[in-house]
Amino acid sequence: MYIPKVFEQTDINQLESIIVNYPFASLVTQSKNGLEVNHLPLFLDKSAGKYALQGHIAKANKLWKVLKDKPEVLVVFHGPNCYISPNYYPTKKEDGRAVPTWNYVAVHVKGQLFFSDDAEFKLEMLNNLTFQHEQKQSQPWSINDAPEEYIERMLPAIVGLKIEVSEITGQSKISQNQPEVNQQGIVDGLSAKKQEAASAIADLIKVNKT
């Protein structure tokens, strides 16, 4: 990922936040069949004192068969993103020198991929994912809510995966290269749209300005 210095995100807490809050990721792999991308939710595990990602694929997905020898993989987490109109820039009214752009946040994770058919690992992974996404529900669902024999029948239909993280890089392109007057214009323009992604970018710009 090309990252201009002004947009580089090195704050590990911010990188973690994107992984946790935008967990539906793109897993990029390469095998004898060429490049392949799978889309799946992933859980950030820090319990062993180092970063790892947990998730699963359907056993019918042949990825676990074609990938051998614990390959290096790339995982892309997509944070908020939206279109930025030149009309948001007050300076445009002065000289017309403005073009559209796109603001976005992205995190790339590289690591070594391991597959697991171990029932204990798969249950732990599913409990982690479920807790992460159910904890804000008024009545959180857990795997224990389902009949034990039902879960036992379902587990063989998936293959667990673990990615031991070797590198995390991030880019937060939120108009840091614009003068403050234009940044405020973008915040005002995006806030007026009342769209979730636009509002998220506006909030990031406001935080970055302070």
Q: Locate the domains of the chain by residue range.
A: 5-176
- Considering the entire predicted model, what is its pTM? 0.93
Amino acid, res. 17: S
180 CA to centre of own chain: 28
Helix (H) or strand (E) holding 191: helix 180-193
Phi/psi zone of residue 194: left (φ > 0), alpha (ψ -120 to 50 degrees), beta?
Answer: left
CA distances from 189 to 26, 45, 67, 147, 152 (A): 30, 38, 46, 50, 51
Q: What is the predicted pLDDT for the residue at 194?
A: 87
CATH topology for 5-176 is Pnp Oxidase; Chain A (2.30.110)
User: 81: buried, middle or exposed (CB in 10 Å: 19+, 13-18, 0-12)?
Assistant: middle
Distance, in Å, from the CA atom of 170 to the CA atom of 29, rounded to the nearest integer, reads 19
CA distances from 175 to 1, 131, 143, 202, 209 (A): 18, 35, 43, 10, 10
Q: What is the predicted pLDDT for the residue at 88?
A: 96
Quick check: 69 and 97 in contact, CB under 8 A? no
Distance, in Å, from the CA atom of 4 to the CA atom of 177, rounded to the nearest integer, reads 10
Residue listed under structure tokens 């792999």: 29
Q: What is the predicted pLDDT for the residue at 96?
A: 86
* φ/ψ of residue 58, rounded to 5: -70, 140
Q: What is the predicted pLDDT for the residue at 67?
A: 92
Q: What is the predicted pLDDT for the residue at 68?
A: 80
Tens place of pLDDT for every residue, the chain, 210 residues?
Answer: 999 999 999 999 999 999 999 999 999 999 988 999 999 999 999 988 899 999 999 999 999 999 987 999 999 999 999 999 999 999 988 888 899 999 999 999 999 999 999 999 999 999 999 999 999 999 999 999 999 999 999 999 999 999 999 999 999 999 999 999 999 999 999 999 989 999 999 999 999 877
Q: What is the predicted pLDDT for the residue at 147?
A: 95
Tokens coding 135 = 């904890």
Q: How many CA atoms lie within 13 A of 143 on its CB side?
A: 18
Distance, in Å, from the CA atom of 210 to the CA atom of 52, rounded to the nearest integer, reads 32
Residue listed under structure tokens 């290269």: 177
